Amino acid sequence: MDETLTARMRAYLAAGTAMDLAALEALYDEEFENVRTDEAGQVAVLTKAHFMARFRALAEQGRSVGEGGTEDVRFLSAARHGDQGTVVMYRCEDGVPARYVFVWRWSDGRWSTLVREFTFERDVTPLLRMLAAASRGGGGGAG
């Protein structure tokens, strides 16, 4: 288990919980994509712009993500592969298990930015509806 990678993940999770928009902006790579899939095989793809819009909207409302904290997070694997690293993470949110794979970029001797997140959930239908409404100009966010 690469402890420098899990430390970077903990910093990322803390930035989200604290709604530290500047830190989140710096942590997400410009090429960031979150690929979410569900038990039915549906797929939703979110970008850095989607995530940052959602964080800004929540911050304006005085709300945050991860209000339940990150005590339930378990890192199952963390390893470096050349100039990238992967972290496999498990957590149970509101009684629903979720699995994640995060891909980090290694540059200048450190874990710099989050490039990809692969999320496995029960159902992404509500997210797909929200993305469709947003693309039609109906607003909405992601995250």
- Residue 79 binned pLDDT confidence (cut-offs 50, 70, 90): very high
Question: 87 versus 16: which is more confidently predicted?
Answer: 87
> What is the model's pLDDT at position 85?
97
> What is the model's pLDDT at position 7?
95
Query: What is the model's pTM?
Result: 0.86
Select from 3.10.450.50, 3.30.420.40, 3.40.50.300, 3.10.20.30 the CATH code of 3-135: 3.10.450.50
- Residue 48 binned pLDDT confidence (cut-offs 50, 70, 90): very high
List strand residue ranges (DSSP E) for 2-95, in order: 28-38, 43-47, 74-81, 84-93
Domain edges within the chain: 3-135
The tens digit of pLDDT for each residue in 91-125 reads 887 787 889 999 999 999 999 999 999 999 889 99
Enumerate the H helices of 47-93 as residue ranges.
48-60
Interatomic CA distance for residues 58 and 67, integer angstroms: 12
Question: 75 versus 97: which is more confidently predicted?
Answer: 75
> What is the model's pLDDT at position 103?
98
Mean pLDDT of the chain: 89
Report long-range pairs for 39-43 (Cβ below 8 Å, ≥24 apart): 39/121, 39/122, 39/123, 40/123, 42/123, 42/124, 42/125, 42/128, 43/124
